[in-house]
């Protein structure tokens, strides 16, 4: 096993870009420490490190919207990973959208560029 | 103008995911400080902040392989941007590949999963 990544540049974390394996849409960006990365590889479900909560975070642990890993790539300097996934459930974003990238820059303002795919209240019950 | 992003979480930086606007391939991940983000918006060429060199970095300034901005999206917590681009030149990665994500995890090892699209020596002359 030689899965070395460069966790030193960002205080023990690498950037993790999550992309839908079929549509190729970028769904979210998170961070993984070494343990989260290993969990992701071993379990086949994308697992992150939450900087705000300072703990591992299995995406979908409360919503059920897990991310099934299809492939993992790393970049030239090994401080980022690109995880191609099959997203379970109607959306990845806790605000009710398919992708966390639901706002586009239009004439200097961020504009919501799509409609929700689910009601976040019914899934998260007020907590994100 | 209300292009506010959350630069506080990562010492003045946001994550910038660069995606080919046509093929939807993720080409690279970089970081932008507020100035780099504004330059990106104003010039229409992706501009980053180099953490190692501690200065702005117009992608393609030495190679000519610039990234022409097609659209910019931000995520729910506004600490990352997704920049869809048209890449000028044969490749984005200074190692000679179309994308910096040219290695895939296969049975616990990172394997180069594609061939180079140009000779980095002839473009960068030994410097990256």
The percent of residues in chain A predicted with pLDDT above 90, rounded, is 88
DSSP string of chain A, one letter each residue: -B-----TTBTTBEEEEEEETTT--EEEEEEE-HHHHHHHHHHSB-EEEETTTTEEEETTTTT---EEEEEEEE-TTSSEEEEEEEE-SS-SSTTS-SSS--EEEETTEEEE-S--SS-HHHHHTT--
pLDDT: which is higher, A68 or B122: A68
Residue in chain B closest to A5 (alpha carbons) equals B110
Mutate to test the interface with B, among A29, A91, A107 (most CBs of B within 10 A): A29
Chain B residues in contact with A93 by the CB 8 A cut-off are 75-76
Residue A1 scores a pLDDT above 60: no
Output the pLDDT for position B1. Answer: 43
Nearest residue, CB atoms, B74 vs list A2, A10, A101: A101
The percent of residues in chain A predicted with pLDDT above 70, rounded, is 96
Gap between the Cα atoms of B65 and A46, Å rounded: 33
| Predicted TM-score of the model (pTM) | 0.95
Would you give the distance in Å from CA A82 to the centre of its chain?
10
Do B71 and A109 count as a contact with CB atoms less than 8 A apart?
Answer: no
Residue in chain B closest to A38 (alpha carbons) equals B108
Output the pLDDT for position B126. Answer: 54
Gap between the Cα atoms of A79 and A92, Å rounded: 23
Residue in chain A closest to B9 (alpha carbons) equals A51
Taking only the tens of pLDDT, chain B with its 128 residues reads 457 999 999 999 999 999 999 999 999 999 999 999 999 999 999 999 999 999 999 999 988 999 999 999 999 999 999 999 999 999 999 999 999 999 999 999 999 999 999 999 988 875 54
């Amino acid at each position: 096993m030689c899965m070395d990544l460069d966790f030193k540049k960002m205080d023990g974390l690498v950037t993790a870009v999550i992309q839908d394996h079929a549509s190729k849409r970028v769904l979210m960006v998170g961070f993984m420490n070494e343990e989260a990365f290993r969990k992701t590889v071993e379990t086949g479900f994308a697992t992150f490190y939450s900087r705000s909560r300072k703990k591992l975070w299995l995406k979908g642990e409360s919503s059920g919207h897990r991310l099934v890993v299809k492939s993992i790539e790393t970049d030239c300097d090994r401080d980022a990973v690109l995880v191609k996934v099959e997203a379970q459930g109607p959306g990845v974003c806790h605000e009710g959208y398919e992708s966390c990238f639901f706002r586009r820059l239009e004439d200097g303002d961020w504009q919501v560029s799509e409609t929700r795919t689910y009601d976040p209240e019914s899934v998260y019950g007020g907590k994100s």
